[in-house]
């Protein structure tokens, strides 16, 4: 089995001979970072749009999909936040409790809305989506976002540590820097 895995990994690397493995890795990380930032921007956009529409009472003037997303955003966010609170207080949700509290409720609601809209639009069942398929797709998307979130946190912490070590007082010995004198 090991030889087959090596064969497929080498074959995958040779699939695009114009890009080296290092450059491929860099481009993939860049894409992951851009996608994570897109989810965060969408979350902020929905919050701001909801706030503006409530202040100016302009909700009927929105395009159909925007009005649907705004109508879904708040109930999704509230339901997810309520469920996260139940999990924090110790209510047993063994199947998903470990993962449900790893992302903020507003980000999870945006992911769920976008995944459902994508399923309804691309599904061949006249605007319908199967519940199990939808749940699996949403779960996969949230799981990927959690991984991305963790990777970005690690890189940010690593950069902060590097900046702290660079910002140390010059001319002091490492022992003095560690003790904080």
Tens digit of pLDDT per residue, the chain (181 long)? 566 666 666 655 555 566 778 888 888 888 888 887 887 888 788 777 777 766 766 555 666 667 777 778 888 899 999 988 988 888 777 777 777 888 888 889 888 888 888 888 777 677 777 888 888 999 899 988 888 888 888 988 998 998 888 876 554 555 544 444 4
**CA–CA distance, 102 with 80 (Å, rounded to integer):** 12
The pLDDT, as a whole number, for residue 176 is 47
Helix (H) or strand (E) holding 98: helix 97-100
Q: Are 134 and 119 in contact (CB under 8 A)?
A: yes
Give the angle 18-21-24 at the CA atoms, nearest 5°: 75
Q: Which residue has the tokens 């820097």?
A: 177
Helix (H) or strand (E) holding 114: helix 105-122
Q: Are 169 and 177 in contact (CB under 8 A)?
A: yes
The pLDDT, as a whole number, for residue 96 is 74
Q: Are 39 and 103 in contact (CB under 8 A)?
A: no
Nearby residues of 97 by Cβ (< 8 Å), 6 or more positions away? 87
Retrieve residue 79's tokens. 């339901």
Return the domain boundaries, the chain. 38-159
Taking alpha carbons only, the member of 67, 76, 138 closest to residue 104 is: 76
The pLDDT, as a whole number, for residue 28 is 83
């Amino acid at each position: 089995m090991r030889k087959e895995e090596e064969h497929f990994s080498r074959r995958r690397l040779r699939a695009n001979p114009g890009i080296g493995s290092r450059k491929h890795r860099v481009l993939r990380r860049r894409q992951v970072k851009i996608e994570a930032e897109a989810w965060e921007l969408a979350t902020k956009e929905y919050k701001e749009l909801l706030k503006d529409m409530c202040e100016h009472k302009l909700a009927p003037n929105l395009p159909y999909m925007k009005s649907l997303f705004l109508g879904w955003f708040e109930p999704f966010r509230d339901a997810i936040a309520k469920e996260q609170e139940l999990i924090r207080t110790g209510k047993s949700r063994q199947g998903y409790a470990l993962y449900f509290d790893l992302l903020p409720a507003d980000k999870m609601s945006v992911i769920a809305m976008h995944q459902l809209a994508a399923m309804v639009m691309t599904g061949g069942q006249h605007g319908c989506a199967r519940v199990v398929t939808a749940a699996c797709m949403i779960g996969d998307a949230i799981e990927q976002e959690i991984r991305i979130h963790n990777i970005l946190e690690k890189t940010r912490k690593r950069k902060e540590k590097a900046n702290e070590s660079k910002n140390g007082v010059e001319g002091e010995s490492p022992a003095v820097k560690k003790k904080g004198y």
